[in-house]
Each structure stands twice: as C-alpha cells, then as structure tokens.
Amino acid sequence: MLLVTGGAGYIGSHFIKAYLNKFTTHELLIIDNFSQGHHEAIANLSNVKIVNCDLMNLTDLEKVFETYPVDAVIHFAAFTEIGESQINPVKFFQNNVSGSINLINAMENFGVKKMVFSSSCAVYGIPEKIPIAETTPVNPLNIYGLTKKIIEDVLLAMHKTKGLSCVILRYFNASGASDDGSIGEAHDPESHLIPLVLNAALTNKPLKIFGGDYPTHDGTCIRDYIHVNDLANAHLKSLALVETSCLSEVFNLGSSCGVSVLDIIKTASMITNTDIAYEIVARRDGDPPVLIADYEKAKQGLNFYPEYDLTKIIQSAWRWQLNKQY
C-alpha cells in the first residue's frame, strides 16, 4: 500500500488524482492533519483510506504503520510559505523537520524503505549560475528552504546507512489546476503569484508586487513555473524508480523557462480580458532574483517532459478560480 502524506493539499491531491487514473485497482492511504489540506479535494474517491494524523504525533503515526501494510511513502506534507518561515522559524523546524524525522523513524521501525520526497528549489538560495542544475551548491536563503535541505540530508544519510531508496524532487514554482477544474490551489492565506494575480482580475483590487528593482529585464523576480499535473506525473515516474531499485537521486522539476511577475500579469490579463492593476512595494525577505531550472537530469532519469506552457497553466488556474469548490 502506498502512503501519501499531505494528500489533501494542493500538490498531493493532484498526485492522488493522477495515481488513481493510472492504477484504478490499487489502494492508497492518505494521512493529513487538514491544517492546510481540504477534505473536498479528496472526497468521493474509490480505493482510498484517509486518516487524520499529524506527523508531529509519533504515537499516532506508528499506529498508522501498525494498521496498514505500507510499503512505500510519498511525502508532501509541509509548511511552505516562505515569508512566514522567516517570521516563525521554530514552527517550520517543528513541522517540516521534526515531523519528517518522525515519519522516517516510523518507516525505519516498520521496515519501509521507499520514499519520494517533495523538496524545493528554495534549497539553492541565490545560485551561482542560471539555469540551475542539481550539481549547483545548496545554500538556502530562507528558513523554508533550510528545512527542506535538512531532510534531504537525512534521507541521503538513511540511504547510505540503512538502504533507504529515495528520490528527492526539487520543485520550481508549482502552478495551475486540474484540467476538469475540480481541484486547484486554495491556500489560506494565499501566497502564490498566479492565484493572487487571478484574484486581482476578479476583484479589481491592486496586486502587490514585492520589489521592482531586481536585476532582471523588468525589475521583478523571475521564476520557472511548472504545472501541478506535470509534477504529479513526475511523482509517478519517481515512485516506479524507488520500487524497482535501491537508489538515492535528486531531480529538478521545472520547465527551463523563466518568466517575471510582470510577464505573468501580462499573460493573465490577456486570458482574463482584464486590465490587472498592481502596485510595487518593498522586497520580501528571502526572495532570490532569478530561479530557473535545468531539468536535463529529469529528462534522462525520469523521462520527464513538461506538457503545459505558461498559457495553459494560467488557463487551467483561471477555470479553477471561476468555479472554486473549496
């Protein structure tokens, strides 16, 4: 049985949908404390067990492993808001680091040796070279990225000492929504750019842009956006790797295409047929100017090729924004 932590969250729920579309008869186990996930995102699913469990509670976590025949884990559960991580670092260390170590301990105690881990390009900080390859030195600029780096190091040590088979996936900017519009981004508060831009299109309230003086073509930060369905597909391929080999691999997941905040606003304005207002305010602590992926290794190791360009990403997010169910 596959255990998915944070399966009711944004990326987790899209992975669940992709997994069940491919493996219609396989059983899944989702654990989530629903502090950020949504019951509606995983409602009415067949062959799915759902347990309300907090990774901080090792006793409850071990009961899950005692009750269900888990043989592999995909670990999504984490706090992800960069700005908050700079203000409340202990909260992030407790949840992202201590919670993950509890999970790894439970896996070790019950002989589970296969994991796919959701990491982040935030581990790179301000990279020496663009685009960013997996060989780029990691030097997180914010607490969120540091928590991801710590767990990457723990997993690599567990591979060397205990034979854990793991794939670490460093996401660039997850974005978009399911093609049918049934699930999508619903953070509270929302901090991701594309849903904030689309909300500004709906409400006519000016969007705040954090910094207009970065060393980029228009002064705003540049990021690499990757559709959540492409991420889900990469997890399926990564799961196949850990199930067939004892390995430890790190892969970037991005598109190798960088777009600025103002580029996003321009594209969203065309899709929504709206003149989206914005105001430029002070930079946000912990934001690198440019993050663009070199995902050549994922092409070779996972046969990973993103299917969604920026227009398709924003179109899918706009469908969700217009018909949000939660």
Whole-angstrom distance, CA of residue 189 vs CA of residue 206: 17
Contact indicator for 68, 29 with CB cutoff of 8 Å: yes
Whole-angstrom distance, CA of residue 104 vs CA of residue 63: 14
DSSP-derived letter for residue 69 is -
Give the amino acid at 290: V
3-state helix, strand, coil in the chain (%, to 5): 40, 20, 40
Whole-angstrom distance, CA of residue 4 vs CA of residue 6: 6
Contact indicator for 25, 47 with CB cutoff of 8 Å: yes
Whole-angstrom distance, CA of residue 69 vs CA of residue 134: 34
Whole-angstrom distance, CA of residue 265 vs CA of residue 276: 7
- Counting other chains too, the contacts that 33-40 makes at CB distance below 8 Å and 24 or more residues apart are 33/77, 34/8, 36/6, 36/9, 36/79, 36/187, 36/188, 37/6, 37/7, 37/8, 37/9, 37/12, 37/13, 38/8, 38/9, 38/13, 38/186, 38/326, 39/8, 40/325, 40/326
Rama region for 149: left / alpha / beta (φ>0; ψ in -120 to 50; rest)? alpha
Taking each continuous run of H as one helix and of E as one strand, the counts in the chain are 11, 12
68 is catalytic: no
DSSP-derived letter for residue 300 is H
Q: Which residue among the candidates 10, 19, 124, 144 is catalytic per the annotation?
A: 144
Handedness of CA 279, 312, 144, 31 (dihedral sign): positive
Contact indicator for 257, 216 with CB cutoff of 8 Å: no
Active site amino acids = 144
